[in-house]
Amino acid sequence: MLRKSLELLKKYYGYEDFREGQEIIIENILSGKDVLAIMPTGGGKSLCYQIPALMMEGTVIVISPLISLMKDQVDTLQQLGIPSAFINSSLAWGKLNEIVYEAVHGRFKLLYVAPERLESEEFIELLKNIKISMIAVDEAHCVSQWGHDFRPSYLKIKNIRDIAGNNPIISAFTATATPEVKKDIINLIDLKDHFEIITGFDRENLKFEVVKTNKKDRYVLDYAEENKGKSGIIYCLTRKITDEVCAKLINSGHKAVSYHAGLTNAERSIRQDDFLFDNADIIVATNAFGMGIDKLNVRFVIHYNMPKNVESYYQEAGRAGRDGEMSECILMYSPQDIVLNNYLIENSSGDSGTSKAGDYAKLRDMVNYCNTDKCLRKYLISYFDESYNVENCNNCGNCLNETESQDITVETQKILSCIYRMDQRFGSNTVIDVLKGSGNKRIKSFNFDKLSTYGIMKEYDKDTLKDMVSCLISDGYINIVGDKYPILNISKLGYTVLKGTEKVEIKKVFTKKAAPAECEYDKELFEILRALRKEISEELNVPPFVVFSDATLRDMCVKYPLNKNEMLNVTGVGEFKANKYGNRFIEKIKEHLRKGDTPLLKGKSLQERGMSPYLNKIDVNSRLAAIAKDSDKIKNSDIKGAGLVKNQNKTDKGIDTRFLSYNLYKEGKNINEIAEARGLKTNTIEDHLLDCAKLGLEINYYDFVSHENEEMIVNAYKKVGGDKLRPIKEALPEHITYGEIKFALFKMKKDEPV
């Protein structure tokens, strides 16, 4: 069963291995169990029901919340050669009848439908005539009234089992679910004896940052200019702000479109397609845009305004970097955002009781995120998973910024003392007025000018005091009580500070931008292939990322595939796509290499020109000779042997860094010597050499693991089971390293008979 699913993964999707969680989810589905999977955006949820659909008899009904999501998914599946279709209100009558006929006759492996279809009697009758193998529920959090995208029609999903007659299994998938929402999904969709998995909420490729500024327009325009040509989403709270920000971007020369509920369906469709098809770099939108949008190469998501809750923020921010490449999620925050969100909550259609109280509580969580000086990733992920305990992620604004810790224990005691003397019955503005020694009538009417804390912090400006109070709230020294008119009181932790048994430190942040790490690849070739991808996408009338993702193009720009077999070694290239348009990409790569005088290649040895690192010297020679046959621009002296790069610290663009490590290994250097020479960590060098082994280069495994340790590692692996390294490490003597385990396991699997 696993072998078959891996074959399909390679054949249709072009990947060698499943991502975390995918394999066990697929195994449980194929064994007939209901499944609830909570996986991060971009974690590969859709593949978990698409692979089983290919292996099961019948049709998988996919409940999908948005028309745009269905179209993107079906476009992608059709480009993979997987028979699929969608039914929604966008279809003409004739096309709808055609799809219904084919569905009844079992022509589709996957049929996408909107949840509202479940309320249509005609559609219910159609379901009775389809052999349903599974019901897959995408964006399953929509079933819960506690969720941020509640859709009443999702409550009808559990009825499909009775309608279908053959009791099909149900699989439910979401990226954001608090424990409360998860419980609702299980009960309201009626999962029975289900398998449940949470693969984690972390997206390591996303850098989170909070920017406190009252000059948001200037920041957006500067950022857009610095990142010109990259795809990005800018979220705004209102239609008016959306249109204003978009107009300013257009006037500054950027390809931008706006998107909100005030536009007609046709206008929204055109603008969304402009963004998906790379005709517009930036889409400025309200939260009406985005759920299920499958654009892989979004490099940044900026929130012009603070969203009203953490769930919405994390899902919207998660639309960045779905291809796994480094991307940025920036939230611009100003106190006015709180005022605007309070207004929206107060004027929402919900009642003034429980619903609004919950909205205010969630807004406070969002405000605390904006004010914390601790790790932003920890704050976000802990909101969904309390067991997450990483204190410093090294990839968020707070962890990466140069900071200066300042002891504010005395200042905190003054603030808490003031709250206490005001009987813990007033909000932050009034408390700050007392601390500043304000002479307004309201302060005097309460006799607060007689308090010992009156004017005790008059040397600080109001904004500084607001920042201090906000941080103390975020870090749990002060509680907020009440909804529309919140008041401050002292927490249990705050009392320990008042008693002098707890110190308080706050980080004063000095922003220092760190450029995201980027793999070395041929950028000139990347732009050539990107243009070809755009050309093919227009011919097929599908978004460019449906052809190939940015990550796949980059891998081509490292491996330079020159035939179909080599193309199939590129990440994200399966047989169907390789046959359909692989040759067009190969021809562009050959043309590029024949030039030989491009800025990236000119004046460099052939090895420096980035020839495929997984080929041996003879392969490199024969490939280069074939490329150079009709060109006098590659000298014979370059073709004589692949030549090792002698300058181990050289990292010119286009050189595969793994091959530099391999060169030093072949010169006889050990792991520690290579790491010292290259200025890298030993585990990084181990990974480089292991990658080279996987790519076919000659490695003596016993340079990295002894026969004795190899035997112990293999025995531990067989005893523990699974491919997680930590349980294997814990079952071994302490002196055996993770590096030894990796080499031993790879050698074991390599030597296994096929």
pLDDT in tens, 478-497: 998 876 678 899 999 999 99
3-class DSSP assignment, residue 456: coil
Residue 26: pLDDT band (50, 70, 90) is very high
Query: How far apart are the C-alpha atoms of 503 and 409, rounded to whole Å?
Result: 5
Query: How far apart are the C-alpha atoms of 327 and 329, rounded to whole Å?
Result: 7
64 and 113 Cβ atoms separated by less than 8 Å: yes
- Nearest CA-CA partner of 744 in 674, 688, 686: 686
Q: Determine the pLDDT at residue 451.
A: 93
Give the mean pLDDT of 202-226.
92
Q: Determine the pLDDT at residue 145.
A: 62
Residue 112 vs residue 3, higher pLDDT: 112
Mean pLDDT of the chain: 82
Query: How far apart are the C-alpha atoms of 530 and 646, rounded to whole Å?
Result: 33
In the predicted model, is pLDDT for residue 663 greater than 50? yes
Q: Determine the pLDDT at residue 196.
A: 92
Of 57-61, 118-122, 659-663, 693-697, where does the model show the most confidence? 57-61
3-class DSSP assignment, residue 491: coil
Residue 519: pLDDT band (50, 70, 90) is low
In the predicted model, is pLDDT for residue 632 greater than 80? no
Residue-wise over 709-728: b if at least 16 C-beta within 10 A, else e?
bbebbbebbeebeeeeeeeb
Query: How far apart are the C-alpha atoms of 332 and 553, rounded to whole Å?
Result: 32
In the predicted model, is pLDDT for residue 654 greater than 60? no
Q: Determine the pLDDT at residue 107.
A: 93
Radius of gyration of the chain (CA): 29
In the predicted model, is pLDDT for residue 555 greater than 70? yes
Q: Determine the pLDDT at residue 68.
A: 67
In the predicted model, is pLDDT for residue 181 greater than 60? yes
Phi and psi torsions of 36, nearest 5°: -120, 120
In the predicted model, is pLDDT for residue 534 greater than 50? yes
Q: Determine the pLDDT at residue 601.
A: 44
Give the mean pLDDT of 151-169.
78
Residue 626: pLDDT band (50, 70, 90) is very low
Residue 566: pLDDT band (50, 70, 90) is confident
Give the mean pLDDT of 441-454.
91
Give the mean pLDDT of 556-571.
88
Residue 621: pLDDT band (50, 70, 90) is very low
Structure confidence by residue, pLDDT tens digits, 303-324: 999 998 898 899 899 889 988 8
Q: Determine the pLDDT at residue 653.
A: 36
Q: Determine the pLDDT at residue 600.
A: 42
Q: Determine the pLDDT at residue 645.
A: 32
659 and 605 Cβ atoms separated by less than 8 Å: no
Q: Determine the pLDDT at residue 290.
A: 64
In the predicted model, is pLDDT for residue 584 greater than 90? yes
In the predicted model, is pLDDT for residue 97 greater than 80? yes
Strands 487-490, 478-481: pairing is antiparallel
Residue 648: pLDDT band (50, 70, 90) is very low
Give the mean pLDDT of 79-103.
88
Q: Determine the pLDDT at residue 605.
A: 41
Query: How far apart are the C-alpha atoms of 377 and 207, rounded to whole Å?
Result: 8
Residue 752: pLDDT band (50, 70, 90) is low
Percent of the chain past pLDDT 70, that is, above it, reads 85
Query: How far apart are the C-alpha atoms of 245 and 263, rounded to whole Å?
Result: 16
Query: How far apart are the C-alpha atoms of 478 and 364, rounded to whole Å?
Result: 12
In the predicted model, is pLDDT for residue 656 greater than 70? no
Residue 170: pLDDT band (50, 70, 90) is very high
Residue 434: pLDDT band (50, 70, 90) is very high
Residue 751: pLDDT band (50, 70, 90) is low
Residue 754: pLDDT band (50, 70, 90) is very low
576 and 54 Cβ atoms separated by less than 8 Å: no
In the predicted model, is pLDDT for residue 561 greater than 60? yes
Structure confidence by residue, pLDDT tens digits, 701-741: 888 888 888 888 888 888 887 778 888 888 888 888 988 98
In the predicted model, is pLDDT for residue 79 greater than 70? yes
Query: How far apart are the C-alpha atoms of 236 and 306, rounded to whole Å?
Result: 8
Residue-wise over 521-532: b if at least 16 C-beta within 10 A, else e?
bbebbeebbbeb
Q: Which amino acid is at 220?
A: V
159 and 189 Cβ atoms separated by less than 8 Å: no
- Nearest CA-CA partner of 69 in 136, 164, 158, 156: 136
Residue 553: pLDDT band (50, 70, 90) is very high
Structure confidence by residue, pLDDT tens digits, 388-419: 878 788 899 888 866 567 788 999 999 999 99
Structure confidence by residue, pLDDT tens digits, 291-306: 556 688 999 999 999 9
Angle between the N-to-C axes of helices 657-666 and 682-694, in degrees from 0 to 180, rounded to the nearest 10: 90
Give the mean pLDDT of 126-152.
78
In the predicted model, is pLDDT for residue 69 greater than 80? no
Give the mean pLDDT of 78-90.
89
Give the mean pLDDT of 176-197.
86
Q: Which amino acid is at 524?
A: E
Query: How far apart are the C-alpha atoms of 471 and 469, rounded to whole Å?
Result: 5
Could you tell me the two tokens for 708? Answer: 């004795």
Phi and psi torsions of 347, nearest 5°: -105, 15
Residue 200: pLDDT band (50, 70, 90) is confident
Residue 184 vs residue 640, higher pLDDT: 184
Q: CA 450: distance to chain centroid?
A: 54
Structure confidence by residue, pLDDT tens digits, 341-360: 888 887 776 544 556 788 88
